[in-house]
Amino acid sequence: MFVSIVVILVMLILILFKNRIFEFKFGKQIFTVLMIVFSGVLIKGAFFIADAKYSYVVQFPWGGKTTYTTNGFHFSGWGIIRDYPKTIALSTKNFNSEKGKTDYDDTSTVSGIISPQLIRFSDAAQANLYFMTRFQLPMEEVALLNIDQQFGSREALINNLFKPSVKSAGINSARLMSIQEYITKRGSDFDAFFYDQLANGLFKTHVEEKRIYGEATSPAKVLGTDGELVISKESVSNRSEMRIIEVVKPLEKDGKYVRQGTNDLSRYSIDVVTAKVTYVDPSAKVKNLISKQRDAEANAALAENRVRTAVLESKAVKAEGAKKVEETRAKMLAAQTEKIIAAETIKEESIIENQRLLENKRLERETAIIDLEKAKLEAKAIKERADAEAYRKAEILKADNALKEKLEAWKYAQNVWAHAYSKRAVPSTVFGSSGSSNEAYGGISASDFMNILTVKAAKDLSLDLNVKK
């Protein structure tokens, strides 16, 4: 803006003294060239080209501000232009664990680089925290003007907002666990705590000191700084008095940690895109203690392994003896089982044979019963047929007054007397009366005899030989 004011003043002076300038040789040409150059400078000061990676806040000379978030030509009105990256990356120096040194990140992709953050875990173990974070600034004019009003430049924004927020999140995440917990099982929890607290706000924590009196039962495990004795909650001292410093983490009813208040980043509508813990480098003292603990654990594991080996060998010897005993027992049991199976087989066969005989007898008995029933049914059928036949004959006799039977009896009677009459003695010489020849020899005529017997038979049989009309 200062340059623009100077250019305007120079142009006014040239306009005021242009007549004198025209008196010089080539004065008009010089005047024209100067006016074109200064006009170009003024036009350049009134407009600017916006980069797509940045958002801009323009403060005009006559007061007021505006923002631009798109690329291209924009009017600046010879005002002050402040640019803010739409995405700000803040990272520590990368740690090369193989070389044991740090290397700087590529500054072309990182907005700010800071030294590793010193953190202290709940058991007072110190370590350097390496991380990589990325934040996205708001695009709305009100939020962007609020950031510009509070910080005034991107350098101030990085130094006064992002760096303190990242450091606080790292320090408070370390207080939620011990170095042993981080190394053994809660490394992923630490990463989640770091991102959560940076995006949503810090958890509330406070330190409580407790003293326990009495005999201890195991050696203490001390992790702390020089000149300060700090004993973790899990540790036990050999002295009669033990001091425990414990980091207390209040919880909500739903089990979540209580937060300290509103997050600074969310207050300015800034989103956390990435928050990663790249490395945690314990201090030399902690590394030495961890190394000793690992050596002790390794020795204990080795001794335990030896004991386990001896126990296994003893068990192996016992197992071998037990194996032989079991083999002998198995053979005897096999022989005994074979005998038992043979006896049971014979028994089962006998049972099956008895069952077969019983079944045969049962079938014979059922067959006899069936035959008896059949005979009864046949006798009953015969009786019923005889009764039916008798009934039929009786009905027939009843219907024709036993005509057939009477005729048969009559025929039989006729045959008897005819046969008897044919066998009678007839005299060769008859002396007598003047009657028939039959009367002459004391008899009656055959015709009369037949008529008499016929009448008698018909009377006896109640036959009526006359044809009824």
Asked whether 43 and 75 are in contact (CB, 8 A), the reply is no
DSSP 297-354: HHHHHHHHHHHHHHHHHHHHHHHHHHHHHHHHHHHHHHHHHHHHHHHHHHHHHHHHHH
Banded pLDDT at 234 (limits 50, 70, 90): very low
Residues 6+ apart with CB under 8 A from 55: 67, 68, 69, 83, 84, 85, 86, 137, 139, 144
In degrees rounded to 5, what are phi and psi of residue 101? -145, 175
Burial of 97 (0-12, 13-18, 19+ CB in 10 A): exposed
Tokens matching residue 248: 């207390």
Asked whether 234 and 294 are in contact (CB, 8 A), the reply is no
Residue appearing with tokens 């100067």? 34
Asked whether 263 and 200 are in contact (CB, 8 A), the reply is yes
Query: Which of the 8 DSSP states describes residue 253?
Result: T
> Cα–Cα distance between 417 and 355 in angstroms, integer?
77
Instruction: Tell me the average pLDDT across 278-291.
Output: 84
pLDDT reading at 374 higher than 50:
yes
Q: What pLDDT is stored for residue 140 in this prediction? A: 92
**Domains in the chain and their CATH numbers?**
2-84 (no CATH), 87-205+249-282 (3.30.479.30), 403-424+436-460 (no CATH)
Against a cut of 0.85, is the pTM above it?
no
Q: Which amino acid is at 294?
A: R
Banded pLDDT at 94 (limits 50, 70, 90): low
Least confident of 63-72, 268-277, 307-316, 363-372: 307-316
Least confident of 108-122, 155-169, 240-254, 313-327: 240-254
Residue appearing with tokens 């030989």? 465
What's the distance, Cα to Cα, between the start and end of the chain in Å?
171
Banded pLDDT at 430 (limits 50, 70, 90): low
User: Which residues share a beta bridge with 88?
Assistant: 135
Nearest to 234 by CA among 258, 207, 212, 257: 212
Q: At what angle do helices 163-174 and 187-200 cross, to 10 degrees?
A: 140
Asked whether 210 and 246 are in contact (CB, 8 A), the reply is yes
Q: What pLDDT is stored for residue 230 in this prediction? A: 42
Tokens matching residue 454: 């016929």
